[in-house]
Structure 1
């Protein structure tokens, strides 16, 4: 998780004018828009998070807890019109704190693993994580992945993105690298023809390398390979809180708040 500190370092100041991003796709269930905020009243939502996961949840130079998830938690509480607290925990203790009912919801990127599914319920996805190609800027216009047949594409060794290329685009010559940064740097140097991997991580690198490279083609959404994306975890059976959060997420997408937060925190959009 601390590796995200290296990714975020490329962004510089965390309030950057969102000149290159675009609105979020619709992840939430649109049928939820007609639901009431909660059948059972929710007097407050106690959010748990961590403080070392930029740009989602981290401490700014003044020690204040900030980030996309922090802003989202506050907007959820405002939408449901309930009191809101946000408390930071070390990553290795956060899930246990939620299990021990020291909070009502964990907004920190907790994976929807089979083990976690036995303990927690999850909100709808509020930020999906697509895979995308990155090419040099002059190759991005009119990009078609089929045109990469026989060309070298960097991809992180052993990753779900490598499995995607092997399954769906087997004619591409895969060049396995040890990290996303290594692959993107190989693209910048001209050692490979393209890179494929986690679009969100690539967006951080592109923020400093837009003169060189850019996203090419479409975003690939494959939850069974790339994960379900970002959701909010709650103790299993805490349906009133889950219901209220899901209702708020739909409302925040409808009124443009989710797009606003995304554009603020991700100046190079990854969709």
Structure 2
């Protein structure tokens, strides 16, 4: 998955003016009212990885960049906390956190029962929904029921393909080896709609203006598409977790979170 995401990072382009885009809102607004003891957390050592674009990766100059990296730094700057962000290999990052070689891991660690036994997690700050993409003319007033008997392009073996099998059994699945191949089939008229990971589709749409659009609403299904992204901290590190939750709420309230989101995802996938 991480190797596939690297290709999508190459599609990142400067954000054009965007109007009326739906934005993430997973932050508990009440968290900003619970002011933790910042004196108890004078600094946060964030751990991440360098192989998960566009969230955390190295640019062509070797600098560690990405949405997660910018979010961690923005949080620390807003709270006037000293912040470091250090990259670890993916297969060592969680163990480094467990060994207290860092205070928090912001790298997309899955919220599984196994990880929950080892770590505590902040509130979710971003989810990755599934979405339909259709030609522009078909996007207005789109209803999934309109795909009865139509061709829906999906990535082979994906949970998005399973979603269509479960909930739109009368649609005709056309399966491809990658999301890009499925979306390209839509642009060529070989499919009537695409269903898949909305984040990946957003980068493709940014490169195919005038062809296609997101259609209908985003689908948030933790059982199929994952729980979303949260910051992991060592079990029992309540002071750090509370400061991170408080900081995330402040960034959302100020608009700084939305600015970061649209900087990295110029076509919102919400």
Same structural fold, with TM-score higher than 0.5 when normalized by the shorter chain? yes
Deviates more, 1:217-226 or 1:36-45: 36-45
Cα displacement (A) at 1:3: 1.8
* Distance verdict in 2 for CA 1:21–1:117, change over 3 Å: farther
The answer on whether the counterparts of 1:20 and 1:267 sit within 8 Å (CA) in structure 2 is no
Cα displacement (A) at 1:121: 1.1
**TM-score, normalized by length of structure 1?**
0.93
Paired position in structure 1 for 2:79: 80
Paired position in structure 2 for 1:204: 203
Q: Distance in 2 between matches of 1:2 and 1:25?
A: 25
Cα displacement (A) at 1:23: 4.8
The answer on whether the counterparts of 1:18 and 1:264 sit within 8 Å (CA) in structure 2 is no
Q: Distance in 1 between matches of 2:27 and 2:128?
A: 14
Paired position in structure 2 for 1:232: 231
1:175 aligns with 2:174: yes
Paired position in structure 2 for 1:266: 265
Paired position in structure 2 for 1:192: 191
Q: Distance in 2 between matches of 1:20 and 1:157?
A: 34
Task: State the number of aligned residues.
Answer: 269
Paired position in structure 2 for 1:9: 10
Aligned residues: CA RMSD: 1.7
Per-residue CA deviation, residues 134-173 of structure 1 (Å, 9 max, x unaligned), is: 0112211221111111101011222221222222222222
Q: Distance in 2 between matches of 1:39 and 1:81?
A: 9
Q: Which runs of 5+ in 1 are unaligned?
A: none
Cα displacement (A) at 1:270: 0.6
Deviates more, 1:19-28 or 1:186-195: 19-28
* Distance verdict in 2 for CA 1:199–1:176, change over 3 Å: same
SS of equivalent residue, structure 1 residue 2: helix
Cα displacement (A) at 1:39: 7.6
Q: Distance in 2 between matches of 1:21 and 1:225?
A: 28
Deviates more, 1:211-220 or 1:53-62: 53-62
Q: Distance in 2 between matches of 1:156 and 1:58?
A: 24
Report 1:146-161 matches (<5 A): 146-161=145-160
SS of equivalent residue, structure 1 residue 225: helix
